[in-house]
């Protein structure tokens, strides 16, 4: 175990430090504090600066700092989150938070939808607007997919994609990684939404479109129709919804082509992004 991480735990009287979970950029460990309460320590799995096909320039320190700020804001608003205890920045960056229990079951979809509706009504903290991020990253990630898939059509025009989003709502806080690994549930009730490293400020439809694409993967434990029922409104019938789905689809294509290679899923992911591209290019005939 990393000596700097062990020292962070020792200085705070944390005992029983042990691995708990691991993602692409962060590892999570569990420990017990001097009062006997369980805590988790979220720390970069590699160096401060990381990169992958989807996100070539990741500053994990910046992500931890933003996550701590967002989660404190949401905790104050009464949203279910893992409340931060301390953000440690130094030789080993660590976000220490209260442990939230989980019984291994899926979230009740209607309850999850209602929770997302609450989230989207909370005044957003300052952040990067989705209308600026989405067109740029769709084009960049499309080009990454094209480097791996011969014959893929050229990337969509970024300015045209920006025009698609013109006039869309842009002031809600979005989680953008709602799926089973980031939901702590007991009896179907979501006790905490975890991992806010993808959070943006923007159009709630972006959240719902991404969740709908995630729901196609069984391991994500999502019932998109149930979530929309609990949310109280459908995805808008607007080209932006197709663009938001494409944003998720091109990300998933890179996951299965590059980050977690899977020939079958990678092929289906490419078919899906091409289908969405056709719908976006010609919504009338695609419908």
pLDDT score of 127: 67
The answer on pLDDT for 268 being more than 50 is yes
Most confident range, picked from 22-26, 27-31, 121-125: 27-31
285: pLDDT strictly greater than 50: no
Residues contacting residue 278 through CB under 8 Å, at least 6 positions apart:
286
Looking at per-residue confidence, does 218 or 129 come out higher?
218
Q: What is the dihedral of CA 174, 82, 121, 23, to 10 degrees?
A: 10
pLDDT digits (tens, 9 = 90+) for 192-216: 999 999 999 999 999 999 999 999 9
Buried b (16+ CB within 10 A) or exposed e, 242-268: bbbbbbbbbbbbbbbbbeeeeeebbee
pTM, entire model: 0.94
* Position with higher pLDDT, 278 vs 47: 278
Q: Are 175 and 207 in contact (CB under 8 A)?
A: yes
Q: State the Rg of the chain over Cα.
A: 19
Residue 85, φ and ψ in degrees, nearest 5: -100, -45
Q: Residue 287 — very low, low, confident or very high, per pLDDT cuts 50/70/90?
A: very low
pLDDT at 24 over 80: yes
By C-alpha distance, which of 220, 212, 219 is closest to 247?
Answer: 212
**Which structural domains are found in the chain, ordered by start?**
3-98 (3.30.200.20), 109-286 (3.90.1200.10)
Q: Reduced to 3 DSSP states, what percent helix, strand and coil does the chain have, rounded to the nearest 5? A: 45, 20, 35
Q: Which of 127-131, 163-167, 182-186, 269-273 has the lowest mean pLDDT?
A: 127-131
Q: What is the widest separation between alpha-carbon atoms in the chain?
A: 64
Mean pLDDT of the chain: 95
Residue 99: its pLDDT value, please?
Answer: 99
Query: Which string of DSSP letters, residue by residue, matches 79-99?
Result: -----EEEEE-SSS-EEEEE-
Distance CA(143)–CA(250), nearest Å, equals 10
Q: How far apart are CA 105 and CA 185, in angstroms?
A: 7
Least Cα distance to 115 among 211, 249, 216, 242 occurs for 211
Q: Is the pLDDT of residue 93 over 80?
A: yes
Query: What pLDDT does residue 129 have?
Result: 81
How distant, in Å, are the alpha carbons of 166, 241, 264 from that of 238?
Answer: 11, 6, 31
């Amino acid at each position: 175990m990393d000596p700097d991480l062990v020292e962070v735990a020792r200085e705070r009287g944390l005992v029983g430090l042990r691995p708990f979970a691991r993602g692409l950029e962060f590892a999570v460990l569990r420990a017990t504090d001097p009062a006997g309460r369980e805590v988790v320590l979220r720390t970069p799995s590699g160096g401060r600066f990381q990169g992958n096909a989807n996100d070539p320039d990741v500053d994990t320190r910046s992500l931890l700092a933003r996550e701590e700020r967002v989660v404190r804001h949401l905790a104050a608003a009464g949203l279910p989150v893992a409340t931060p205890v301390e953000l440690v920045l130094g030789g080993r960056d660590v976000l220490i938070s209260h442990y939230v229990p989980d019984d291994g079951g899926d979230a009740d979809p209607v309850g999850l939808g209602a929770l997302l509706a609450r989230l989207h009504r909370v005044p957003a903290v300052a952040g990067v607007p989705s209308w600026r991020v989405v067109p740029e990253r769709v084009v960049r990630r499309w080009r990454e997919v094209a480097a791996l898939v011969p014959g893929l059509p050229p990337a969509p025009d970024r300015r045209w994609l920006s025009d698609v989003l013109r006039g869309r709502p842009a002031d809600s806080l979005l989680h953008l990684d709602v799926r089973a690994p980031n939901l702590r549930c007991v009896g179907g009730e979501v006790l905490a939404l975890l991992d806010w490293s993808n959070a943006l400020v923007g159009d709630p439809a972006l959240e719902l479109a991404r969740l709908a694409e995630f729901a196609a993967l069984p391991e994500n434990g999502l019932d998109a129709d149930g979530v929309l029922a609990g949310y109280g409104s459908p995805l808008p019938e607007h080209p932006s919804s197709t663009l938001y789905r494409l944003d998720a689809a091109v990300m998933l294509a890179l996951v299965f082509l590059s980050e977690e290679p899977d020939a079958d899923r990678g092929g289906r992911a490419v078919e899906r992004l091409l289908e969405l591209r056709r719908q976006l290019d010609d919504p009338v005939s695609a419908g």
